[in-house]
Structure 1
Amino acid sequence: MSSLTKETLLKRLFSDPKNYPYGFSRSGDFSIAESKALNEYGCLFAALVDRQFAPSDEEDRQFLAAALGEVEPQSTAERAWLKYQKRINRPKTGSIYGTRKTTDSNSRDEDAMMDVEDGLDIELDD
């Protein structure tokens, strides 16, 4: 495997098909400038944050400090990366309907029978 350099990381286009299958620019989460910055600098930023690449100049050290929350982000690329991280790491929302899936109407009938067997007596008036 070749060693990572800043030039090779900047030549790669960054994408996240899991969270943004249609790209950053089509998601509605990012402006045009932010999506371009993520595509251009995303591989470098990911390598810096994951410690796969050591910062080689002051620009890299500034980004790393912003990504770790030590300083405020200055560039569009730094703000876009923090926004991207906030979006992909947000808590997942639950459903108001729960997580249990009903396969067919027979399972609902079986659930009703279990309620009756559990001591729930239903009396019907004539």
Structure 2
Amino acid sequence: MASLSKEVLLNRVFSDSKNYPYGFSRSGDFSIAESRALSEYGCLIAALVDGEIAPRDEEDFHFLNAAKGDCAPQSAAERAWLKYQKRINRPKAGSIYGTRKNSVTDDAEGEMAMDIDEDFD
């Protein structure tokens, strides 16, 4: 695998086709400035957080510390990254109807009872 550098990562456009298939700017979750910052700096911050590259300068250390929550975000890219992480890691909505399917259960008299309503004449 080729060695990654900060310059190479800054030239890549960050995208998340799983969570944002139409892009960050078209999702409605991010402003134009946030989507630009996320697209520009997302690959660098992701590589820093995943440990693919080591932080070299003060900006890299601050990106890493802000992403981990050790310090408050100061730049637009850091705020956009934290907002992105909050959005993709939010709990999934559950159904108010539950997850059980209609099942066949035994009745007290030994007959089979179903959870489906029957027509009565």
TM-score by length of structure 1 reads 0.81
> Which of 99, 108, 119 matches 1:119?
108
1:40 & 1:97 partners in 2: Cα distance? Answer: 42
2:99 & 2:14 partners in 1: Cα distance? Answer: 34
Give the C-alpha shift of residue 97 in structure 1: 2.1
| Length, aligned pairs only | 111
2:44 match: secondary structure: helix
Give the C-alpha shift of residue 118 in structure 1: 2.3
Structure 2 gap segments, 5+ residues each: 114-121
Give the C-alpha shift of residue 100 in structure 1: 4.1
Amino-acid identity (%)? 72
Match of 2:51 in 1: 51
Match of 1:63 in 2: 63
Match of 2:7 in 1: 7
2:44 & 2:73 partners in 1: Cα distance? Answer: 16
1:39 corresponds to 2:33: no
1:11 & 1:98 partners in 2: Cα distance? Answer: 46
Give the C-alpha shift of residue 70 in structure 1: 1.1
Task: Give 1:21's aligned amino acid.
Answer: P
Greater per-residue strand proportion: 2
Once the two structures are superposed, residues 60-118 of structure 1 have per-residue CA deviations (whole angstroms, 9 ceiling, x without a partner) of: 101111111111000000000000001101111111122345xxxxxx6xx4xx44x32
Say what the alpha-carbon RMSD is for the aligned residues. Answer: 1.8
1:99 & 1:25 partners in 2: Cα distance? Answer: 34
Match of 1:85 in 2: 85
Greater per-residue helix proportion: 1
Give the C-alpha shift of residue 56 in structure 1: 1.2
1:31 & 1:99 partners in 2: Cα distance? Answer: 36
TM-score by length of structure 2 reads 0.84
> Which of structure 1's runs of 4+ aligned residues deviate more than 3 A?
none
Match of 1:98 in 2: 98
